[in-house]
Structure 1
Amino acid sequence: MVPGMDGHDLWEALPGPDRDRIDALVRSGRRFEAVRTLRTASGARLGDCMDAVAGRYRALGVPSAPPEPPEDTEALAERVRRLPGRAVRIETAWDGDTAGWFVLLLAVLADPPTAVVLARFRHGSDLRIFNGAVPPWPEAAAAGEAGRALADRLGLPFRPAGPEPG
């Protein structure tokens, strides 16, 4: 790694298999893992890796943050139809960040095998745990309803997340 390389040059210097692996992580919305993988492969500074991964999000046309759930099932179905691979399943999965837990609505693709984030359901921060507002977690129910409706619309199986994170 040459000091002062910009994100584009850093990307171009990577071997093809590393670029493919990082692009798969970007497509599945796994930004931090993509940055870590790039840093391990290149030895570049963290900031340069973050810039390069942000560039891959732009180049691939992947939103940098999961969108809030669209109002209707047809909008989600259209997003799945436009994906670069064949969807084989719709599922929901718990995930979290520094603000707390949320549920992702995912389209699972056959080739390359990856999960693409379609929407994120979050109904508040984890302060709800301390004030007794959860469980039940309303985002699990909302994501499950959206996922079932989408899977039915597309004729795909649906695999829901559990009712609670963890």
Structure 2
Amino acid sequence: MEWEALPADLRERLDGELRQSRVLPAVQLLLAAGSYARTEAHDLIIERFHELYPPRPPAVPTLLRSARSLRDPIAAIEARWDADGRGWHVALVAIVERPGPSHERYSESRLGTFRHGGDLRLFGGLVPAWPESAEATMAGQAVARQLDVPFHFTHPSSPDTDLPRWWDTH
């Protein structure tokens, strides 16, 4: 199925959902509009979402500038899984020496987010490759090298928010 083959009014409604990052409701709208298989509808919506909003991981120079602008001393660079209404993503953070809500000595400052689609990738028994994990690892290692601090990513191969943090090991 091609995007242009859909009725114009349906394309407008779907784009309206996608402009609000409402991917799952767009898939549901497409499913309700015709005899589309779930996988086909999902693939078309994800393809269209990426046409509208191509994934662009943060560039290392931008991440490095953000890290260097922090006032507190940086102890480490950490990549960690996180989730929101659109699904799993990898947050790249600077662990700074400042008491925070999760640790008495350290806190974090977010440097960037790496995301490729949402959790719809998990439908149909597909196992995602998690490219955001590889991108965050490469970028995080580069930033950590430039700052001469360690890099930490507990479990890059699969999402989980209940993993040990860098400060749990120090």
* TM-score category (smaller protein): 0.5 to 0.7
**Offset at 1:114?**
0.7
User: Structure 1's 69 and 118: CA in aligned 2 closer, same or farther, altered over 3 A?
Assistant: farther
Match of 1:157 among 134, 150, 153: 150
Distance 1:96 1:105 in 2: 13
Specify the code of the residue in structure 2 equivalent to 1:139: E
Can you list the C-alpha shifts for 1:17-55, whole angstroms capped at 9, x where unaligned?
A: xxxxxxxxxxxxxxxxxxxxxxxxxxxxxxxxxxxxxxx
How do 1:101-140 and structure 2 match up within 5 A?
101-112=88-99, 113-140=106-133
Q: Does 1:144 align with 2:137?
A: yes
| 1:91–1:107 CA contact under 8 A, matched in 2 | yes
**Offset at 1:133?**
4.6
TM-score of the two chains, using structure 1 as the length reference: 0.55
Distance 1:135 1:69 in 2: 17
| 1:93–1:104 CA contact under 8 A, matched in 2 | yes
| 1:85–1:110 CA contact under 8 A, matched in 2 | yes
Distance 2:91 2:154 in 1: 9
How do 1:16-165 and structure 2 match up within 5 A?
69-71=57-59, 73-112=60-99, 113-162=106-155, 163-165=157-159
Partner of 2:50: none
Partner of 1:55: none
**Offset at 1:132?**
4.6
TM-score of the two chains, using structure 2 as the length reference: 0.53
SS in 1 for 2:129: coil
Distance 1:130 1:143 in 2: 24
Higher alpha-carbon deviation: 89-98 or 104-113? 104-113
Can you list the C-alpha shifts for 1:52-81, whole angstroms capped at 9, x where unaligned?
A: xxxxxxxxxxxxxxxx6432x232222111
- List gaps (5 residues or longer) in structure 2: 1-55, 100-105, 161-170
Distance 2:141 2:125 in 1: 28
- Please, what is the CA RMSD of the aligned residues? 1.6
* Matched length: 98
Distance 2:129 2:62 in 1: 27
Distance 1:127 1:70 in 2: 23
User: Structure 1's 133 and 142: CA in aligned 2 closer, same or farther, altered over 3 A?
Assistant: farther
